[in-house]
């Protein structure tokens, strides 16, 4: 039995979970609404304030989906009630970030600034303090979507191992390499 899949998911007080006849799980909360289509061998049940994910057999593919769907439902419930936040830090001389609504403008040392339009489900905020690296804050109720947007922004200029310049997550440790030695 999957250790993750067999754990029940507790429904938080301000959220509601419904399952349609086509095996679609819909989670509604104060921050929004998310839905997930569950494939056939996996069954999802809602009992009062608990969601349980069950599997009929021990085939490898079914075991893998058992834990996956439980984690996805947990992330949906957590997202619509509390939300998720990711922070990216721009490390480098002259690296800047600003936003106008949902359009993020990044100055990363290229000949032109990069304009990135972020989907409306993800809120963008930039923080620029004197003497500190600029920070891009992303907030959303969808964990998958916010992760994809953060990865897209990070891919514009990944941190390099010698000086550590680039876009990194706040708190991320960059593996540094030693440069050339004089001799």
pLDDT of 6 reads 86
pLDDT of 20 reads 87
**Distance between CA atoms of 97 and 89, rounded to whole angstroms?**
10
Per-residue pLDDT of 58-95, as tens digits, reads 888 888 899 999 999 999 999 999 999 999 999 999 99
Q: What is the CA radius of gyration of the chain?
A: 21
pLDDT of 183 reads 62
Could you please state the CATH topology (level 3) that the domain comprising 84-169 is classified under: Outer Surface Protein A; domain 3 (3.90.930)
pLDDT of 2 reads 63
Note whether 9-81 and 84-169 share their fold.
yes
Name the CATH code of domain 9-81 (choices 3.10.105.10, 3.40.50.620, 3.30.43.10, 3.90.930.12).
3.90.930.12
pTM: 0.88
Domain boundaries, the chain: 9-81, 84-169
- Which two tokens mark 36? 């997930």
pLDDT of 119 reads 94
pLDDT of 21 reads 82
Report mean pLDDT in 10-residue bins for the chain, 183 residues.
82 91 91 92 90 90 90 95 95 93 93 94 94 95 96 95 93 90 73
Half-sphere CA count of 179, side-chain side, radius 13 A: 5
């Amino acid at each position: 039995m999957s250790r993750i899949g067999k754990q029940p998911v507790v429904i938080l007080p301000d959220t509601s979970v419904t399952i349609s006849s086509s095996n679609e799980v819909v989670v509604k909360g104060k921050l929004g609404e998310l839905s997930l289509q569950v494939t056939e061998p996996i069954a999802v049940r809602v009992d009062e304030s608990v969601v349980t994910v069950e599997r009929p057999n021990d085939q490898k593919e079914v075991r893998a989906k058992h834990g996956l769907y439980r984690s996805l439902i947990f992330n949906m419930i957590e997202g619509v009630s509390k939300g998720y936040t990711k922070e990216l830090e721009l490390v480098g001389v002259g690296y800047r970030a600003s936003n106008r609504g949902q359009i993020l403008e990044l100055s990363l040392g290229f000949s032109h600034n990069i304009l990135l339009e972020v989907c409306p489900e993800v809120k963008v905020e930039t923080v620029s303090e004197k003497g500190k690296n600029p920070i891009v804050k992303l907030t959303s109720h969808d964990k998958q979507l916010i992760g994809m947007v953060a990865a897209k922004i990070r891919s514009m200029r990944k941190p390099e191992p010698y000086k550590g310049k680039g876009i990194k997550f706040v708190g991320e440790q960059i593996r540094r390499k030693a440069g050339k030695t004089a001799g």
